[in-house]
């Protein structure tokens, strides 16, 4: 847990302090070069897209390369001459709005959701549970700009009966008291992520997963006691080891970046980074300039008319040659 907390603190510093400080410094130190690099990159992208369109046109229509170039450039120069998928009089920038679903269509979607999620027929749900679940489904699917607020208590489930359902409810309620955003003032991202895992495990009726999450929260909050089984503790330990491995890989990649620990760097260290980053940017600009020149040469070959074939003069036959010599003899 100590190693995991240390790695998480390093990652938080890298994302919340190093990266913003490096971005501000880059804009101040290499503003013109970055602008030139972005302009070259965009120009190169447009040229490459044009070549790709030319190759597709040539493969579909055949003929010469110039004919494909003429067709593509003529289409791009006069887009009004081509038929748009929205019709002749419609504005292509105004996409048609999707029709609103009717009530029978919404009902069919809800029934499919119940069958795929709970594995039962929608008619098997009690009336009260069906109405509650339908209201939550409509709010999640068809209402926009809503604020997601997880329920304070465990939602009812059609298979909540028996000892298994009671244990699932007990674990869920304990986790809700510990993790619900309304009951915590710190809003820690790691605990918020666990809270989403809790809701998923409850909907899937996964008691083992809920018990593992209980042990994981107990370890994080210092609540581990005799009520935690060895199986739960080992499962929580596996969770933390997996998280530590993933975070260690991310930190290993971040340490290769020039922005690593940039917020803590002094003037001399920043000067070293400035030289390194400047060389990388200028090298990228040189490479894109050379590539752009090659692409423009390729476009020039596409736009060149095919040379007309010159007819070679036909060689005279032996009879024609002898007759020509005779005519030359009788000319005065």
Q: How many domains does the chain have?
A: 1
How many Cβ atoms from other residues are within 10 Å of residue 276's Cβ? 11
Residue 286 contacts residue 39 (beta carbons within 8 Å): no
Return the structure tokens found at 208: 């083992």
Say what the pLDDT of residue 226 is.
Answer: 64
In a domain, 155, yes or no: yes
What local confidence, expressed as pLDDT, does residue 82 receive? 44
pLDDT reading at 186 higher than 60 = yes
Span 229-245, average pLDDT: 79
The parent domain of residue 45 ranges over 2-80+101-303
Helices (H), 17-126: 19-29, 31-61, 65-77, 103-118
* C-alpha closest to that of 120 among 167, 157, 155, 168: 157
Q: Is the dihedral of CA 130, 133, 138, 139 positive or negative?
A: positive
87 falls within a domain: no
Each residue's pLDDT tens digit, 81-114: 444 333 444 444 444 555 677 777 777 777 777 7
Does 287 score more than 90 pLDDT? yes
121, 160, 119, 156: which is closest to 135 by C-alpha? 156
- Residues 238 and 251: beta-carbon distance below 8 Å: no
φ, ψ of residue 236 in degrees (nearest 5): -65, -35
CA distances to 170, 188, 216, 220, 240 from 224, rounded to whole Å, are 17, 19, 9, 9, 15
Residues 6+ apart with CB under 8 A from 195: 150, 175, 179, 180, 181
Tell whether 332 is covered by a domain: no
- Give a yes or no: residue 96 inside a domain: no
* Beta-carbon contacts of residue 22 (< 8 Å; ≥ 6 apart): 258, 259, 262
Within-domain flag for 37: yes
Q: What is the mean pLDDT of residues 185-196?
A: 71
User: In terms of residues, how long is the chain?
Assistant: 332
DSSP 14: I
């Amino acid at each position: 847990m100590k190693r995991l907390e240390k790695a998480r603190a390093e990652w938080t510093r890298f994302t919340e302090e190093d990266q913003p400080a490096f971005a501000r410094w880059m804009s101040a130190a290499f503003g013109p070069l970055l602008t030139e690099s972005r302009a070259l990159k965009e120009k190169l992208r447009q040229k490459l897209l044009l070549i790709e369109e030319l190759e597709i046109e040539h493969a579909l229509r055949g003929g010469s390369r110039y004919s494909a170039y003429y067709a593509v450039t003529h289409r791009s120069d006069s887009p009004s001459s081509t038929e748009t998928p929205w019709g002749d009089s419609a504005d292509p920038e105004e996409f048609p709005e999707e029709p609103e679903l009717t009530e029978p269509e919404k009902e069919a979607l809800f029934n499919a959701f119940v069958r795929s999620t709970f594995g039962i027929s929608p008619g098997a749900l009690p009336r009260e549970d069906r109405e509650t679940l339908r209201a939550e489904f409509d709010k999640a699917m068809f209402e926009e700009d809503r604020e997601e607020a997880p329920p304070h208590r465990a939602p009812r489930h059609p298979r909540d009966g028996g000892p298994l359902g009671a244990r699932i409810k007990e674990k869920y309620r304990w986790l809700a008291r510990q993790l619900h955003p309304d009951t915590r003032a710190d809003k820690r991202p790691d605990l918020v992520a666990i809270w989403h895992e809790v809701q998923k495990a409850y909907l899937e009726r996964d008691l083992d997963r809920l018990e593992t999450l209980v042990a994981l929260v107990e370890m994080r909050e210092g609540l581990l006691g005799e009520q935690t089984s060895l199986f739960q503790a080992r499962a929580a330990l596996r969770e933390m080891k997996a998280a530590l491995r993933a975070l260690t890989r991310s930190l290993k990649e971040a340490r290769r970046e020039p922005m690593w620990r940039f917020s803590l760097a002094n003037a001399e260290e920043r000067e070293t980074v400035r030289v390194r980053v400047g060389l990388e940017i200028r090298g990228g600009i040189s490479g894109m300039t050379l590539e752009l020149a090659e692409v423009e040469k390729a476009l020039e070959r596409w736009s060149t008319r095919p040379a007309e074939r010159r007819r070679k003069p036909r060689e005279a036959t032996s009879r024609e040659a002898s007759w020509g010599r005779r005519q030359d003899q009788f000319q005065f």
